[in-house]
A and B are shown apart, each in its own frame.
Chain A
């Protein structure tokens, strides 16, 4: 099924070097359309770099990127894509109505839907005469999202959209985002260093660690292809396909990739997304 879908975002051996340091290295991935994808990894894993390459704000040092059939390194971000940076750049001294007018003026080439943006701002209960600087972080996040959605994107890129928001604002921003994604079928790629924020929201995952893609795919498929084994500490596990093992005084738990026989004495469970992500982060740690 996935094979027949044309990826909205494709990275082919992409690397990005800042002086001596490689922020991204040999990254390849395909994001199929209609997914809500979490881009996760610890701070410094390369999430922001990946997003800025996809928007054409930076050029890759190696490899190729394709966004909706365009190369952002040559032509910039295509009109079908939209991006909100982490600090949610808005003109602080503007009133909301002026900010919306500015957004319309800056988006003349695409299919700007000012009525839609105004409706989202209204749903958020934000008055048009309010000053941007006097709004809460949650309100500013909702304005930035409303403007990004006003481009009617088929691919929406968000860098840490929930950082610095309180739990209520987090749910409102995420709720709006997911409801609009459900209605329009757009693809969303959003980064977070807190998996718990995105666990229930996303159906696709890209996990970065030390600038490399450690794991990528539809979440259901990822959970189906891994098993969580738990047993007594003294029973040994065959090393094949084990992603990560942890042992306490009495118990050994392991995350294993792919099907296989269950070793005697072990219990098998379907892992949670958190089990899988933690195992891959720790695997990378072991190897580093």
Chain B
């Protein structure tokens, strides 16, 4: 996987790496047994200090998500993806229909995001991003 570091996001760099791995585990693009890129490869690609990458990997290890195997690399231990249920499939198709109506009503991506976030926050009572 490739990491994208946003310099001006205000989120510490190591945390951006942690969250991108978690996201990949949630989406199933990283699966148990997969190897994370080596620290050297991440450093070469992102130009961040190696200690930052190692800190992120240690954090993931502490959370029980990955495991370093000396001389071999860091491997994924568990997935964060929920198995897709019948509910998921129905909700997805309803959301797709809703999204189509929104597009027909002339809403652009940002309008949709804002509306979605507002409704979500009202329901879940969570105004702020986790962490």
A interface list, Cβ under 8 A from B: 36, 170-171, 174-176, 178-179, 181-183, 196, 199-203
Within the assembled complex, what's the spacing in Å between the Cα atoms of A201 and B7? 11
B5 interface residue per 8 A CB criterion:
yes
Let me know if B7 and A196 touch, CB within 8 A.
yes
Let me know if B44 and A175 touch, CB within 8 A.
yes
Let me know if B47 and A175 touch, CB within 8 A.
yes
Residues from chain A with Cβ under 8 Å of B50 in the complex: 178, 181-182
| Secondary structure of the B contact surface, majority rule | helix
Let me know if A175 and B39 touch, CB within 8 A.
no
Residues from chain B with Cβ under 8 Å of A176 in the complex: 44
Within the assembled complex, what's the spacing in Å between the Cα atoms of A176 and B50? 12
Within the assembled complex, what's the spacing in Å between the Cα atoms of A131 and B18? 43
Distance (whole angstroms) from the CB of B18 to the closest CB of chain A: 15
B40 interface residue per 8 A CB criterion:
yes
Within the assembled complex, what's the spacing in Å between the Cα atoms of A200 and B46? 9
Q: Give residues 12-66 of B contacting A (CB, 8 Å).
A: 13, 39-41, 43-52
Let me know if A174 and B40 touch, CB within 8 A.
no
A181-B50, A199-B7, A200-B7 known; 13 new pairs, CB 8 Å cut-off, are: A36-B49, A170-B47, A175-B45, A175-B47, A178-B44, A178-B49, A178-B50, A179-B40, A179-B44, A182-B50, A200-B5, A202-B49, A203-B51
B interface list, Cβ under 8 A from A: 5, 7, 13, 39-41, 43-52
Let me know if B52 and A200 touch, CB within 8 A.
yes
Let me know if A174 and B49 touch, CB within 8 A.
no
Residues from chain B with Cβ under 8 Å of A174 in the complex: 47
Distance (whole angstroms) from the CB of B3 to the closest CB of chain A: 12
Distance (whole angstroms) from the CB of A27 to the closest CB of chain B: 25
Question: Max chain A CB contacts within 10 Å: which of B5, B39, B46, B50?
Answer: B50
Within the assembled complex, what's the spacing in Å between the Cα atoms of A175 and B3? 13
Within the assembled complex, what's the spacing in Å between the Cα atoms of A280 and B51? 25
Distance (whole angstroms) from the CB of A277 to the closest CB of chain B: 15
Let me know if B44 and A201 touch, CB within 8 A.
no
Within the assembled complex, what's the spacing in Å between the Cα atoms of A243 and B44? 36
Distance (whole angstroms) from the CB of A29 to the closest CB of chain B: 20
